[in-house]
Structure 1
């Protein structure tokens, strides 16, 4: 009997390509590394605000570095990453609040453990994204990510 797996929290936002890479790599290697992956939906915009940081897309040198970095990481980890053609409209205009609220609602209902959601279940979760409990949970998870620094 080996050591007990440690819990590894992945605070993620679907807006972040680094979240995608982290998710793919952690899912791929969690058994080798003996970790139990806990997915924690949060808002990267809240983390950026809390840290006084700006999104890489808003800082030309960061954006340039990120594009190069993601090409290398995509190749190294063999993870399909494709930037949207209308990057600014999608990433900065649309944002991820609705998506992250949906994922928070899924997480709260523990439906994430299932292989798929029934249409009725998905509709019910979509209805919850505007509720106070879901909004508060997403805010609390984002604050928890910020506390880690």
Structure 2
């Protein structure tokens, strides 16, 4: 393993099942590889028109902005939103559904109410647009898209099947989608 931590950004949308795969693998590897994983909620419809995740991605953006530098709640809420839409075929567009997801992710009822109030605010809209534009500036044409920062230079990887290439790029070892299982 290399000594200095590498920054790895994951641009994703909970509407994308492939983003979910990439998200889970990178979350597993964050402590195996020497990386600083930064979760970047991005609006897929800003890259590919027509998705239904705007409210969910604004909620994730609001949590991310509130928790600057702390990815734990964004990670838990992202996972809960994926479980709702892709595992239980539940809604992720209505306030009641978003509230339920946030509560299951461990966010207090009072804070959920506050977050739902700000998801339509201009600063949250602007932040999500900005993150989406940043992904497009890196060359995104879909999600998930991961950017590894190596010696100040960004390297972009598209899809949830590029982990072996990513590992090589950051000087780490890829041992499959469940790194802890390979250590047993």
Give the TM-score category using the shorter length: 0.5 to 0.7
- Using structure 1 for the length normalisation, give the TM-score: 0.65
List structure 1 segments (4+ residues) > 3 angstroms apart after TM superposition: 111-115
Structure 1 gaps of 5+ residues are 50-54, 56-91
- Measure the CA separation in 2 of the matches of 1:44 and 1:127: 23
- Cα distance in 2, alignment partners of residues 48 and 99 from structure 1: 16
Residues 33-44 of structure 1 mapped to structure 2, 5 A cutoff: 33-44=33-44
Q: Is the CA contact 1:106–1:112 (under 8 Å) kept in the aligned structure 2?
A: no
Q: CA deviation at 1:29?
A: 1.2
Is 1:7 paired with 2:41?
Answer: no
8 A contact 2:30–2:36 mirrored in 1: yes
Tell me the TM-score normalised to structure 2 length.
Answer: 0.53
Structure 2, unaligned runs of 5 or more: 77-105, 140-184
The match for 2:45 is 45
Aligned to 1:118: 108
Larger strand share, 1 or 2: 2
Residues paired across the two proteins, number: 106
Judge conservation of contact 1:105–1:129 (CA < 8 Å) in 2.
Answer: yes
* 1:44-90, Cα deviation, whole Å (9 max, x unpaired): 111125xxxxx8xxxxxxxxxxxxxxxxxxxxxxxxxxxxxxxxxxx
Root-mean-square deviation (Å): 2.0
- Decide whether aligned partners of structure 1 residues 112 and 128 sit closer, same or farther in structure 2, where only a CA change above 3 A counts: farther
Per-residue Cα deviation, 1:17-64 (whole angstroms, up to 9, x for no partner): 111001100011122221111000111111125xxxxx8xxxxxxxxx
